[in-house]
């Protein structure tokens, strides 16, 4: 590793630390119904939204009603996006999306995954990219934030039957949070050279006399929400490695900041809303340790091999390693280099980041409620060790909460391992591989890990645009999204109904180094025990073969 590279990484992290508190305060005020900076301008628009949709903002919902509203909204969104793609040829566009690809893409954007088994600049019209996919980037991100806020209310309230109103939380998330940030982000990106137009593709003649088609489009507006909402779907197939999406080191830094801005801020929002900001900083500390450990492993492995394959020269090894870690620690999936070109150890970190459930800051909302899932398990394990009923923030963690947490963990882990195992032996699935051996298995494992974690990045080398992969990856996305959200909303409802217990000498402090260490250990150990055999057959064995000179 070089001093310059280390400085880049630490400078980025310092900026995230500085932005966490102001962002967290803003969101805490917003979702507590308090006045914010944008209240005078946007409050009339918010009221109009409620009037047009018949939402009564003063009426709150039980967890079952909250979950039903989210599921209904997601289903209607899925149908909307699916039909937009299938009817695209009627708008005069020649490319037709097959039913399985349309299903996969609709599920992908509704679940905040943005897995793309197609090339956006040649497959979709500007209209579909904007009215269907970009809209879902806002909606799915706001839905994730809403679930996180509902879970926070479960910890903050006592003897309450309601955890908020999904429609109100969704509206405020889009109107006061995602839209303003995306507007500022898009204007900044435009100023740095990211294109924003509705021009048709340009045909140019290269210096060699060849013809090249250069795609155009409304890129900056979709680039901003793709990062702010941790969606990750690129307007172009090359994603943020494309110079029209990410032209300079400055835009690269801005995009990385956009990815972590809301997830990091939500940790402070959590502490503020439960009445103890130290609790939020403890979650932030656990996420930070895991993040920094991951990024230095990737950077160390890539720099040691001086591996520039798959990396843009304008970014270099350090910034590409940092971006790869950030985008897979968050459920973003945007890439500024090809993850399939990382060294085996470098590729292991993004893969493991996703297999932990993407709780290392994670997606908008998803990272926080995922880490709180592990916090519940951590205090349960601590309670077993000392023979006490586990407590977290004054709430007893009992059988229901632990069962719901385990359901979420088992469902996502099972869908990754079962589908990856099946795809590794079924002939029609292995026919999609360009590589055999550990590299081929790693590509399959990465694809299902990415889908179940709602990430959307890929290792490449796998032709996933087949009926088998489109359908199974779509199912993995649905399970990875909703079989975590629904159990976590059940936990929120259960906790909200409980009384808060007084702190005693036997209460485990959950804001100090001991708890942070326990939480980190729980994340790492659960991930390792679940996925170590699969990882041993892919990046780990590939690394050992490379050390023996049998690869590359």
As a whole number of angstroms, the distance between CA 114 and CA 332 comes to 8
Pick from 78-92, 301-315, 404-418: least confident: 78-92
Q: Work out the percent of the chain whose per-residue pLDDT is above 70.
A: 98
- What does the buried/exposed string (b/e) look like for 205-215 if buried means 16 or more CB atoms within 10 Å of the residue's CB? eeeeeeeeeeb
- Distance set, CA 313 to CA 182, 249, 317 (Å): 27, 10, 8
* 3-class secondary structure, 337: strand
State the pLDDT at residue 1. 85
Position 289 pLDDT exceeds 80? yes
pLDDT digit string, tens, across residues 325-359: 999 999 898 999 999 889 999 999 999 999 998 89
pLDDT digit string, tens, across residues 447-498: 999 999 999 998 888 899 999 999 999 999 999 999 999 999 999 999 999 9
Render 200-239 in DSSP notation, one character per residue: PPEEEE-TTS-EEEE---BHHHHHHHHHHTT----SSTTG
Position 257 pLDDT exceeds 60? yes
As a whole number of angstroms, the distance between CA 419 and CA 469 comes to 9
Cβ–Cβ contacts within 10 Å for residue 247, how many?
16
State the pLDDT at residue 552. 47
State the pLDDT at residue 455. 94
Position 504 pLDDT exceeds 80? no
State the pLDDT at residue 93. 57
> Do the beta carbons of residue 445 and residue 416 sit within 8 Å?
yes
Position 91 pLDDT exceeds 70? no
pLDDT digit string, tens, across residues 365-424: 999 999 999 999 999 988 888 777 788 998 899 889 999 999 999 999 999 999 999 999
Tell me the pTM.
Answer: 0.94
As a whole number of angstroms, the distance between CA 57 and CA 363 comes to 26
State the pLDDT at residue 265. 97
As a whole number of angstroms, the distance between CA 341 and CA 337 comes to 8
- Selection from 77, 49, 268, 301 nearest residue 179 by Cα: 49
- Selection from 345, 310, 304 nearest residue 541 by Cα: 345
As a whole number of angstroms, the distance between CA 329 and CA 323 comes to 10
- Distance set, CA 181 to CA 17, 70, 188, 224, 255 (Å): 18, 23, 11, 8, 12
Highest mean pLDDT among 199-203, 304-308, 517-521: 517-521
* 3-class secondary structure, 52: helix
- What does the buried/exposed string (b/e) look like for 265-297 if buried means 16 or more CB atoms within 10 Å of the residue's CB? bbbbbbbbbbebbebbbbbbbbbbbbbeebbbb
- What does the buried/exposed string (b/e) look like for 413-445 if buried means 16 or more CB atoms within 10 Å of the residue's CB? bebbbebbeebbeeeebeebbeeeebbbbbbbb
Cβ–Cβ contacts within 10 Å for residue 98, how many?
15
As a whole number of angstroms, the distance between CA 24 and CA 265 comes to 4
Position 98 pLDDT exceeds 50? yes
pLDDT band for 92, please (50, 70, 90 cuts): low
Cβ–Cβ contacts within 10 Å for residue 402, how many?
18
As a whole number of angstroms, the distance between CA 30 and CA 8 comes to 33
> Do the beta carbons of residue 82 and residue 103 sit within 8 Å?
yes
Mean residue pLDDT of the chain comes to 92
pLDDT digit string, tens, across residues 26-69: 999 999 999 999 999 999 999 999 999 999 999 999 999 999 99
- Selection from 325, 350, 347 nearest residue 551 by Cα: 347
As a whole number of angstroms, the distance between CA 412 and CA 113 comes to 14
What does the pLDDT average to over 223-251?
A: 93
In sequence order, which ranges of 356-426 are alpha helices (DSSP H)?
366-386, 399-423
| Sequence-ordered list of residues with C-beta below 8 angstroms from that of 464, at least 6 positions apart, any chain | 115, 117, 432, 447, 458, 470, 473
The phi, psi pair for 507, rounded to 5°, reads -75, 130
Position 186 pLDDT exceeds 60? yes
What does the pLDDT average to over 252-281?
A: 96
pLDDT band for 81, please (50, 70, 90 cuts): very high
- Distance set, CA 426 to CA 39, 292, 423, 430, 534 (Å): 56, 38, 5, 6, 17
Where do the domains of the chain lie? 372-547
């Amino acid at each position: 590793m070089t001093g310059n590279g280390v400085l880049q990484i630490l400078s980025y992290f310092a900026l995230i630390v500085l932005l966490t508190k102001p962002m967290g305060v803003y969101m805490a005020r917003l979702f507590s119904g308090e006045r914010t900076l944008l209240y005078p301008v946007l409050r009339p628009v918010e009221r109009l939204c409620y009037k047009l949709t018949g939402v009564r903002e003063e009426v709150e919902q039980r967890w079952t009603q909250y979950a039903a509203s989210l599921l209904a909204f997601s289903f209607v969104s899925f149908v909307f996006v699916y039909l937009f793609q299938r009817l695209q040829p009627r708008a005069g566009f020649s490319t037709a999306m097959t039913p399985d690809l349309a299903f996969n893409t609709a599920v992908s954007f509704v679940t905040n995954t943005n897995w793309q088994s197609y090339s956006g600049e040649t497959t979709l019209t500007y209209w579909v990219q904007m009215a269907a996919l970009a809209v879902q980037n806002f909606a799915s991100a706001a839905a994730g934030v809403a679930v996180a806020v509902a879970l926070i209310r479960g910890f903050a309230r006592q003897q309450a039957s309601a955890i908020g109103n999904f429609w109100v939380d969704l509206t405020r998330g889009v109107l006061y949070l995602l839209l303003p940030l995306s507007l500022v982000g898009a204007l900044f990106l435009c100023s740095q050279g990211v294109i924003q137009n509705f021009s048709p593709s340009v045909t140019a003649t290269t210096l060699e006399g060849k013809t090249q088609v250069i795609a155009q489009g409304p890129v900056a507006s979709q680039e901003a929400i793709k990062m702010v909402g941790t969606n990750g779907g690129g307007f172009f197939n090359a994603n943020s490695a494309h110079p029209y999406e990410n032209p300079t080191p400055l835009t690269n830094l801005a995009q990385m900041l956009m990815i972590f801005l809301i997830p990091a801020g939500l940790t402070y929002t959590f502490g503020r809303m439960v009445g103890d900001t130290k609790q939020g900083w403890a979650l932030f500390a656990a996420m930070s340790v895991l993040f920094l450990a991951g990024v230095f492993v990737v950077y160390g492995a890539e720099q040691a091999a001086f591996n520039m394959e798959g990396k843009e020269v304008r970014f270099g090894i350090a910034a590409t390693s940092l971006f790869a870690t950030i985008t897979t620690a968050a459920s973003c999936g945007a890439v500024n280099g090809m993850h399939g070109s990382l060294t085996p150890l470098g590729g292991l970190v993004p893969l493991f980041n996703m297999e932990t459930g993407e709780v290392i800051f994670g997606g908008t909302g998803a990272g926080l409620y995922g880490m709180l899932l592990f916090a519940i398990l951590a205090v349960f394990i601590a309670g077993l060790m000392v023979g006490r009923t586990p407590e977290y923030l004054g709430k007893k963690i009992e059988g229901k909460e632990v069962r719901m947490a385990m359901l979420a963990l088992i469902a996502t882990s099972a869908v990754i391992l079962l589908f990856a195992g099946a795809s590794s032996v079924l002939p029609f699935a292995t026919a999609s591989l360009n590589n055999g051996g550990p590299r081929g298995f790693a590509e399959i494992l990465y694809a299902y890990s990415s889908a179940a974690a709602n990430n959307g990045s890929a290792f490449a080398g796998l032709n996933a645009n087949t009926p088998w992969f489109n359908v199974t990856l779509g199912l993995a996305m649905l399970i990875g999204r909703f079989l975590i959200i629904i159990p976590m909303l059940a936990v929120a409802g259960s906790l909200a109904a409980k009384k808060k217990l007084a702190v005693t000498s036997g209460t485990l402090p959950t804001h100090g180094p001991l708890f942070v260490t326990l939480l980190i250990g729980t994340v790492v150990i659960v991930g390792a025990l679940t996925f170590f055999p699969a990882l041993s057959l892919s990046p780990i064995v590939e690394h050992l073969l490379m050390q023996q000179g049998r690869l590359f």
